[in-house]
Structure 1
């Protein structure tokens, strides 16, 4: 295995490891700024590979913020490894997620973020967006980098298999095919409206955790996926 590094937007880097046994990509994102931020920590077993990849862009010890979408092994399994390697770093997560999980799990007290709260990194601004149960997890949320219009969208648009680092090819079909296999998304009355709120941002780039980053019509892709999930939710409610 190797972890590749690709700049998907100015000073935003995708760190990607394809795990053949799972037939999935596992991606983290480095926002390089005066206060560098890592979105997704990754699995504990991947820490040596991913930390070496981060070091190609910025010293690991200089990381200031460690963030992730929701509490799950592939998003925060190596959280404390990063805190040990970056002595001035602090975990930043949604306030509710901190209260129910991260306050206990993290080796140092985290910074709780409210919905819409912005971290000014110095040259970059990341906004926490709470998305409970979208695509899954009570504490689920995303990060939106305002200066580049990059939405770090976690498990949304998960696809199976390897993929290019950055694409303009259609991503909704592969996401629905993966959903047919995994059934990982929570389909509730709030799923589609939450995704349409994300679409209203009209992001220029989507940073997928399990798939390629996307530089096509991001708002439309979010609206199309919302419509597909809404149809599935409606069908399930009619059974």
Structure 2
């Protein structure tokens, strides 16, 4: 567990056979928000750490960018320990979560919509996820200018609490067809992201990114 920025915590697991780190993030304030659950094994390790950070508080929200094991595979386990938490996701992801019996009470958001609380403001963007191009969501916390990149802007290797310097335009240009396997939708995503001005990227895999101009 690492404190990334003020009340933002990162929880990491390194999987050596594939040389990849998996991150979840927690905004620990009056309405605590978890970004992704990890898979079921990662969630079992995550829950005691969440309880230690939150103390007597409970989770308010879980953001799920898209339907994949490391994004939401541990959701049922998280809900056992935080039964009142509400997942935030796209309409397609909501259908998948309810269809597999992983959750019932969800908050569905569309690209361009926001969620405002006393401590943070989230803005949501369309995310055509690999490999089936299911409509997911990306999110930016606009007050802190932190972009949560999910499976975009990822790097291999062990990266627990680390960050590197990078450039936003370069990161966007480096989004590969393997990540968004439709040229038109990838171009549209890149155009959307180029309108943003984050200062920091909280990645799903690899080191976080501190952005220069």
Same fold (TM over 0.5): yes
Query: How do 1:141-220 residues align onto structure 2 when only pairs under 5 Å count?
Result: 141-163=137-159, 165-170=161-166, 183-217=178-212
Q: Distance in 1 between matches of 2:131 and 2:190?
A: 9
Output the CA distance in 1 between the equivalents of 2:122 and 2:200: 14
- 1:116-168 alpha-carbon deviations (Å, 9 max, x no partner): 22222321112222222378741221111111000111001121111352323
Q: Is the aligned partner of 1:10 residue 2:6?
A: yes
1:212 and 1:88 map into 2 onto residues whose CA distance is 32
Closer, same or farther: CA 169–146 of 1 in aligned 2, 3 Å = closer
Q: Which runs of 5+ in 1 are unaligned?
A: 221-239
Distance in 1, Cα, partners of 2:190 & 2:143:
21
1:74–1:164 CA distance, 2 compared to 1 (3 A): closer
Partner of 2:61: 65
Q: Alignment RMSD, CA only?
A: 2.7
**By percentage of residues, which structure has more helix?**
1
Q: Is the 8 A contact 1:205 1:214 kept in 2?
A: yes
Contiguous gaps of at least 5 residues in structure 2: none
Q: Which is richer in strand?
A: 2
Task: State which of 31, 50, 59 in structure 2 corresponds to 1:54.
Answer: 50
Query: Which stretches of structure 1, 4 residues or longer, exceed 6 Å deviation after superposition?
Result: none
Offset, 1:92? 1.2
For CA contacts below 8 A with separation 6 or more, give which structure has more relative contact order: 2
Residue 52 of structure 1 deviates from its aligned partner by 2.4
TM-score (normalised: structure 1): 0.77
- Aligned with 2:93 (options 82, 90, 97): 97
Q: 1:60 to 1:160 in 2, by over 3 A?
A: farther
- TM-score, reference length from structure 2: 0.86
